[in-house]
Amino acid sequence: MRADPPGLNRRALLAAPLILAPSSLAACERFASAEVAPGPDAPPLKSLADFPIGATGMTGQLDDPVWVAAMRRDVDQITPEWELKPERILQPGFAYDFSASDRMVDWGHEQGLRVFGHTLVWYSQGLDQFTDALPTARFAAEFDRYVSTVAGRYRGRMVGWDVVNEAVAEDGDGLRDCVYARKLGPEAYIVRAFEQARAADPDAVLFLNDYNLENNPRKGATFLRLVERLLAQGAPIGGIGTQSHLDIEIPAGQIRDFFRDAASLGLPIHVSELDFPMQRDGGRAPDLRSTADRRAQQVARVGELAEAFMALPARQRFAFTTWGLRDSDSWLVREEGKNRPNESALLLDGEGRPNPAFQAVAGAFGR
């Protein structure tokens, strides 16, 4: 249990309703008038839970004293946002460059944070080196060498790794076609990656990580059946990573149902990349609802997720990580991300103050 920061009025903070009816104007108004302790009086995010609270970080942020102070105050764990990926480490000719990854891992430890690795194998990365044209024996040898070298470099220093990222097909219908699957076998490449990672870093908890597991129940089910099959084949999977880039428009109960099914596997669960955009992706009909209505819907879904996480047995709550710490840190606002400067999809606003969803999480976590 952590001590409250000075000046925190927890009762006022938690005065807001935990779950709001999606379109309830009354709920929106109640919520909008909730007393949120501003600025330095707001409780640190990490004080909301007995399990680790995480956020991403990038090398470009390490020299920003405001971001550094916010990370020190609010989180227990950091996931480097891209520095540990093949896109950064793997170089032409299967050379490796660890300059950025070392910097992130060292920085995390200097700050006393747990460091979480993301990600060793991802269908969309490493494709300049890992090609269909490469002879299979060389492909397999380089695959093993990559996973064991990267995981081995940080042996004993990482709390966990996303060993394979996004193995399930986009629509949830089976597994994703990718060069790793084609060359090594659709499930064999995953088993192989986990075996290499386990041998290289026996103490790190090894995760299969994926997205849209709550948004698309079919994909959630395919993912969980995949985990079961991989475990049956002996893959040392130690945890389930659900990215939780939430679609706030999914029906109530869907998040809870996914967590209930996921919990039945008995593995620790990492909410690994949480965000909850207010704005719709392109391709859908224009959203004519008020911002307040969308906020209420957002708060309801985030509250449901936090409650579902809390409903897990304590030993299955690995960590609760948001993809970016403050709204301004999100990939959604960045030009090379979704380029939506006004998006508010995280627990803290651009100034590091609680957003409405913060209260739902605080309430669900019972703080």
* Cβ at position 120, least distance to ligand 9MR in Å: 12
Distances (CA, A) of 320 to 45, 180, 260, 264: 11, 29, 17, 19
CB-based closest residue to ligand 9MR = 331
Binding residues for ligand 9MR restricted to 6-45, rule: CB under 6 A: none
41 exposure class (CB count in 10 Å sphere: 0-12, 13-18, 19+): middle
Stretch that binds ligand 9MR, among 79-87, 107-115, 192-200, 308-316 (CB under 6 A): 79-87
49 φψ region: left (φ > 0), alpha (ψ -120 to 50), beta (else)? beta
Residue 298: φ, ψ to 5°: -60, -50
* 247 scored as a contact of ligand 9MR (CB under 6 A): no
Residues with active-site annotation: 166, 210, 273
* 327 scored as a contact of ligand 9MR (CB under 6 A): no
Stretch that binds ligand 9MR, among 60-68, 80-88, 149-157, 230-238 (CB under 6 A): 80-88
* 87 scored as a contact of ligand 9MR (CB under 6 A): yes
Binding residues for ligand 9MR restricted to 269-308, rule: CB under 6 A: 273
Strand 269-274 vs strand 317-322: parallel, antiparallel, or unpaired? parallel
Please check whether residue 32 is in contact with residue 20, taking contact to mean a CB–CB distance below 8 angstroms.
no
65 exposure class (CB count in 10 Å sphere: 0-12, 13-18, 19+): exposed
Place of tokens 């024996």: 137
Task: Pick the binder of ligand 9MR from 243, 316, 322, 328 (CB under 6 A).
Answer: 243
Stretch that binds ligand 9MR, among 77-85, 189-197, 249-257, 291-299 (CB under 6 A): 77-85
Spatial CA neighbour of 330 closest among 343, 312, 321, 317: 343
Position 355, amino acid: N
The contact mask relative to ligand 9MR for 96-135 (x = CB under 6 A, - = no) is ----------------------------------------
* 331 scored as a contact of ligand 9MR (CB under 6 A): yes
Binding site for ligand 9MR (CB under 6 A): 81-82, 85, 87, 165, 211, 243, 273, 331
